[in-house]
């Protein structure tokens, strides 16, 4: 046999082997905001219309005992890291306690290390400013709202869900249409781009619906107004629109021949925050809603559709599973590489055996705190979960409740007195868990450098302030105008103290007209409304404190901000900014921008 023939045969064999190797799997995670287990028609809701969520559920492995945290930020941190959220520094939804620590290695980093394109579309809520933005943490593409959500002080000014402005890879851009439509459209554009570049993709679509405000076009309310209140109709309409977009996404995957090579996951970030939630709200028989430690606060829908060979037949599993399991699952199924930095131990485990129809799933322990707005305390507002039990400490008295969850899903009967040995065992396991959390570590803070402009708002301050754009509009007092950050690069910096953010380019002493978008109805949470006048403040001067330096600038009628310059050395720094009124009263400033000169 000639060398030529041997070479051709070897090439042919190699080509045949390579052709049988599966291409890398694409991964899409869709997470809605404040949609509970019962807010889907497939799960028995008699009012809401969700044909596409139902279609996905019917073709997926459905996890019926799947858990997240009771609030937004902790759930997102746990999802991204595979670790219980308390470990990551994310314990609440506001301030620096929703900032995920930089040493956490997160989901997009694994995909990026494995050659994937990575994109996030929508709500982040686990860090504002450099180096804590999605684009700093492994995402190639990012478009979304401010860290804390719609109409909060760190969102782009005057967003109301329709024709909004978004953060796009660090810049502010405008996009027409409803926010959920924008996120799905941008995600599909990203997927198309990855396909052209012959790269697999990881897309995280995190809508900010149905979280309030529930602003929607008037016509979207019509299917629900006959039987529901206006608020609840808008809540359902928001989910209906997310469902429509999920249908668009599934159709896109079919049209692009991607369905057979893509893992599609749908879940939500906490239990339902249904308007008028205690008045005949459908909860699939579960007790509690968003923020609660009972099942309705943290048991959520999770549907996973995967290609043949990974997933068996569609159906249900009642295995105790959680958001922390998704990253280990992707690492396992997609053979993801480990990023080149220290990886912290995960609490999650791969769901692969359950997806393929297996039952090899040992019992486990899951623990969540729900102490939004304050530092986490031991033995307060917690739930300890196993497959059979729920130990809930939901009372000020500190007395725990125990529920046999398999037979009492509605958690109507406290059996703690009947099973003291179970209470003692679960409490001991919680005590061990508490010692492992390291909650005494400093909170993560942003950094100041030449890499990005630091945008500081009331919600980012070191102590509690009102966190909404409505509060800024109404000139509500900001008692703690102090911000902490780390100076990453020594040098000269420019600070601009403002009454209004840069997206509202008017003088500091001027008022503003109410927001008024004719394409949408303003419906929802009364403290987050932006259709209120912006109150003018008389400001004579601005005082800026940087560590031991106190700087003052007079304010003219035309000034949009008071500008200061200062030389800084590296290290942690606290900033304080005040407006001085004509009668020499001090009012906390609302916005500060800092950038390297």
Q: Is 367 part of any domain?
A: no
pLDDT of amino acid 397: 66
> Distance (Å, rounded) from C-alpha 404 to C-alpha 413?
8
Share of the chain above pLDDT 90, in %: 89
Cα four-point dihedral sign 508, 513, 517, 523: positive
* Residues 276 and 389 both lie in one domain: no
Q: Is residue 13 part of a domain?
A: no
CATH number of the domain within which 565 lies: 2.60.120.260
**What residues contact residue 431 under an 8 Å CB cut-off, 6+ apart?**
none
Pick from 324, 359, 394: which residue ends a domain? 359
Task: Give the residue from 391, 408, 436 where a domain finishes.
Answer: 436
Q: Give yes or no: residues 188 and 334 share one domain.
A: yes
Lowest mean per-residue pLDDT among 5-14, 124-133, 355-364, 510-519: 5-14
Worst-scoring range by mean pLDDT, 3-17, 249-263, 375-389, 579-593?
3-17
Rounded to a whole number of angstroms, the distance between the first and last alpha carbons of the chain is 73
454 and 432 within one domain: no
| In contact, 56 and 242? CB cutoff 8 Å | no
User: Is it the case that residue 481 has pLDDT exceeding 60?
Assistant: yes
Neighbours of 180 (CB within 10 A): 26
332, 430: one domain: no
| Residue 224 in tokens | 């629900």
pLDDT exceeds 80 at position 11: no
Look-up of token digits 């330096």? 549
Domain carrying residue 205: 22-359
CA gap 354, 444 in Å, rounded: 36
Task: List the structure tokens of 563.
Answer: 């500008």
Contact 384, 426 (CB under 8 A): yes
| 429, 464: one domain | no
Report the C-alpha gap between 519 and 76 in whole angstroms: 31
415 domain residue, yes or no = yes
Task: Give yes or no for residue 14 having a pLDDT over 70.
Answer: no
Sign of CA dihedral 470, 473, 477, 478: positive
Is 279's pLDDT higher than 90?
Answer: no
* Per-residue pLDDT, 396: 67
* Residues 290 and 342 both lie in one domain: yes
Give the integer Cα–Cα distance in Å for 101 and 320: 27
- Helix, strand or coil, per DSSP, at residue 339: coil
Do residues 217 and 247 share a domain?
yes
Q: Is residue 137 part of a domain?
A: yes
Nearest to 468 by CA among 531, 405, 417: 531
* Short-list 339, 419, 345, CA closest to 386: 419
Same domain? For 469 and 345 the reply is: no
pLDDT, position 23:
87
83 and 144 share one domain: yes
| 71 inside domain | yes
C-alpha–C-alpha distance, residues 533 and 551, integer Å:
31
> Which of the four pLDDT bands, split at 50, 70 and 90, describes residue 24?
very high
Q: How far is 65 from 63, CA to CA, in rounded Å?
A: 6
Write down the mean pLDDT value for the chain.
Answer: 94
So what's the pLDDT on residue 157? 97
pLDDT value at 292 more than 60: yes
* Listed ranges 15-29, 257-271, 351-365; the one with the highest mean pLDDT: 257-271
Q: What pLDDT score was predicted for residue 358?
A: 87
Burial call 91-102: b when 16+ CB within 10 Å, e when fewer: bbbbbbbbbbbe
- Cβ-contact 542, 553 below 8 angstroms: yes
Tens digit of each residue's pLDDT (9 = 90 or more) over 88-133:
999 999 888 999 999 999 999 999 999 999 999 999 999 999 999 9
pLDDT classification of 21: cutoffs 50, 70, 90: very low
Task: Please say if the pLDDT value at position 49 is more than 70.
Answer: yes
Return phi, psi of residue 354, to 5°: -75, -35
Q: Into how many domains does the chain fold?
A: 3
Instruction: Tell me the Cα Rg of the chain.
Output: 25
Residue 395 and residue 324 in one domain: no
Residue where the block lists tokens 């620096």: 96
Report pLDDT for 25.
Answer: 98
pLDDT band, residue 464 (cuts 50/70/90): confident
Q: Does 531 fall in a domain?
A: yes
Look at the block and give the residue holding tokens 């359950």.
Answer: 354
- With beta carbons less than 8 A apart as the criterion, state whether 112 and 140 touch: yes
Paired tokens of 468: 């909404």
Residue 329's closest CA among 570, 79, 139, 55?
Answer: 79
CATH of the domain at 417: 3.30.1120.10
The closest alpha carbon to 69, from 376, 383, 286, 280, belongs to: 383
Q: Which pLDDT band, with edges at 50, 70 and 90, does 525 fall under?
A: confident
- Band of residue 12 on the pLDDT scale cut at 50, 70, 90: very low
pLDDT at residue 375, rounded to an integer: 85
Name 496's Cβ contacts closer than 8 Å, sequence gap at least 6: 561, 562, 563, 564, 592, 593, 594
Specify the pLDDT at position 470.
96
Task: Kindly give the pairing relationship between strand 382-385 and strand 389-393.
Answer: antiparallel
Strand segments, DSSP code E, in 148-300 are 165-168, 171-174, 201-210, 262-268
What residues are paired with 27 via a beta bridge?
Answer: 202, 263
Is the pTM value of this prediction over 0.85? Answer: yes
Print the SS3 string covering 493-534: EEEEEECCCCCCCCCCCCCECCCCCCCCECCCCHHHCCCCCE
Considering the domain architecture, whether residues 235 and 307 belong to the same structural domain is answered as yes
Residues 453 and 536 in one domain: yes
| Position 371 in a domain | no
The pLDDT, as a whole number, for residue 20 is 38
Q: How far apart are CA 110 and CA 527, in angstroms?
A: 39
Q: Does the residue 442 lie in any domain?
A: no
**Which residues face 528 on adjacent strands?**
none
What is the C-alpha to C-alpha distance for residues 554 and 563, in angstroms, rounded to an integer? 10
Percent of all residues in the chain with a pLDDT value above 70, rounded to a whole number:
96
Question: End of a domain among 417, 436, 455?
Answer: 436
Q: What CATH number is given to the structural domain containing 323?
A: 3.40.720.10
Residues contacting 384, CB < 8 A, separation 6+? 365, 366, 367, 390, 391, 426, 427, 429, 430
pLDDT at residue 209, rounded to an integer: 97
């Amino acid at each position: 046999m000639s060398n030529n023939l041997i070479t051709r045969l070897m090439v042919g064999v190699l080509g045949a082997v390579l052709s049988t190797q599966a291409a890398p799997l694409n991964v899409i995670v869709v997470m809605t905001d404040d949609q509970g287990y019962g807010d889907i028609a497939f799960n028995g809701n008699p009012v809401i219309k969700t044909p596409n969520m139902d279609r996905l559920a019917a073709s997926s492995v459905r996890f019926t005992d799947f858990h997240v945290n009771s609030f937004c930020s902790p759930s997102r941190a746990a999802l991204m890291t595979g670790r219980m959220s308390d470990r990551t520094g994310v314990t609440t939804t506001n301030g620096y306690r929703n900032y995920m620590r930089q040493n956490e290695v997160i989901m997009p980093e694994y995909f990026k290390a494995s050659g994937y394109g990575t994109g996030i579309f929508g709500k982040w809520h686990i860090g504002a400013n450099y180096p804590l933005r999605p684009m700093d943490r492994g995402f190639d593409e990012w478009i979304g709202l401010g860290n804390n959500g719609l109409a909060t002080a760190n969102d782009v000014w005057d967003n109301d869900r329709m024709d909004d402005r978004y953060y796009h890879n660090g810049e502010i851009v405008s996009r027409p249409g409803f926010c959920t439509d924008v996120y799905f459209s941008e995600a599909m554009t990203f997927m198309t781009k990855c396909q052209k570049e012959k790269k697999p993709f990881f897309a995280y679509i995190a809508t900010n619906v149905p979280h309030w405000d529930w602003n929607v076009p008037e016509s979207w309310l019509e299917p629900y107004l006959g039987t529901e209140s206006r608020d609840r109709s808008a809540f359902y309409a928001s989910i209906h629109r997310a469902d429509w977009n999920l249908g668009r996404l599934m159709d896109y995957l079919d049209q692009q021949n991607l369905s057979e090579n893509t893992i599609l996951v749908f879940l939500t970030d906490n239990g339902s925050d249904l308007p008028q939630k205690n008045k005949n709200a459908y909860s699939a028989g579960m007790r509690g809603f968003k923020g609660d430690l009972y099942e309705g606060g943290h048991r959520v829908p999770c549907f996973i559709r995967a290609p043949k060979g990974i997933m068996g037949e569609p159906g249900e599993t009642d295995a105790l599973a959680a958001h922390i399991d998704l990253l280990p699952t992707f690492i396992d199924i997609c053979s993801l590489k480990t990023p080149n930095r220290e990886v912290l131990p995960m609490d999650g485990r791969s769901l692969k055996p359950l997806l393929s129809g297996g039952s090899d799933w040992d019992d486990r322990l899951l623990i969540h705190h729900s102490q939004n707005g304050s530092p986490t305390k031991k033995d307060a507002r917690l739930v300890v979960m196993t497959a059979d039990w729920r130990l809930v400490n939901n009372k000020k008295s500190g007395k725990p409740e125990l529920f046999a969850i398999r037979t009492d899903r509605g958690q109507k009967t406290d059996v703690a007195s009947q099973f003291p040995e179970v209470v003692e065992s679960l409490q001991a396991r919680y005590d061990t868990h508490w010692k492992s959390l390291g909650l005494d570590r400093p909170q993560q803070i942003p950094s100041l450098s030449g890499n990005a402009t630091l945008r500081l708002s009331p919600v980012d301050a070191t102590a509690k302030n009102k966190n909404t754009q409505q509060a800024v509009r109404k000139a509500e007092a900001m008692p703690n105008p102090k911000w902490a950050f780390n100076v990453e690069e020594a040098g000269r910096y420019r600070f601009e103290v403002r009454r209004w953010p840069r997206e509202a380019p008017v003088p500091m002493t001027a008022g503003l007209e109410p927001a008024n978008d004719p394409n949408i109805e303003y419906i929802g949470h009364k403290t987050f409304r932006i259709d209120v006048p912006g109150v003018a403040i008389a400001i004579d001067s601005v005082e800026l404190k940087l560590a031991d330096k106190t700087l003052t600038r007079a304010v003219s009628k035309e000034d949009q901000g008071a500008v200061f310059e200062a030389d800084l050395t590296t290290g942690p720094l606290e900033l304080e900014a005040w407006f001085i009124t004509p009668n020499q009263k001090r009012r906390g400033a609302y916005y500060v921008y800092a950038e390297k000169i």
